[in-house]
Amino acid sequence: MNKDLAPDYRKMLEGIRLVNVVCSRANYTREASCSEIRDYKKKSFEILRAAFEPGYNIQDDVLEVPVAYKITIKGGKRSLAIFEFQHEVVFSIRDRNVLDSGLEDKDIRDFFIGYQMEKFVWSFLRSALADACSKLGIENVILPMKL
């Protein structure tokens, strides 16, 4: 984001208040047995973030921003387990005019929805992935920290 937009971004943030981060969807499947997954010494993972249009929803005095990820654990080229999570970042709107003004600017909107939402959701995603790995009976995959 352009440094010149920082005051406008800050003003937009003052127009909202974070209320909750909710996991609205969690799907996961194991594509190999636990022992097969365990036997792969070099596992990797792929993280893809889904895009939403328009990227947010406003109803009454609530702003909801969906953030979804697909994580695939791989052994070589083979998919071993696939995880899909969608979270909703929920804000109460303090000042609708200030919020609308901020979201009208593409650079501010892209930074808010693209970069900032990932920071809000990342720890919840790490937790959901750890829980899903446990339920599938496979070793936990630890996602890197997002700073």
Q: What is the CATH number of the domain that holds 91?
A: 3.10.420.10
Compute the chain's Rg from CA coordinates.
Answer: 18
Q: Return all residues near 53 (Cβ < 8 A) that are at least 6 apart.
A: none
Domain count, the chain: 1
In a domain, 146, yes or no: no
Q: Is 39's pLDDT higher than 90?
A: no
**Residue positions counted in the chain:** 147
For residue 76 the two structure tokens come to: 């070589």
Q: Is 54's pLDDT higher than 80?
A: no
In a domain, 144, yes or no: no
Whether the Cβ atoms of residue 73 and residue 45 lie closer than 8 Å to each other = yes
Q: Report the chain's terminal Cα–Cα distance, integer Å.
A: 16
In this prediction, what percent of the chain has a pLDDT beyond 70? 97
In a domain, 145, yes or no: no
Q: What is the mean pLDDT of residues 18-36?
A: 94
- Distance separating alpha carbons of residues 130 and 110, to the nearest angstrom: 29
Range of the domain at 60: 3-136
For residue 34 the two structure tokens come to: 């636990």
* pTM for the predicted model, two decimal places: 0.88
- Distance separating alpha carbons of residues 18 and 82, to the nearest angstrom: 30
Q: Which of 63, 61, 114 is nearest to 88 (CA)?
A: 63
In a domain, 65, yes or no: yes
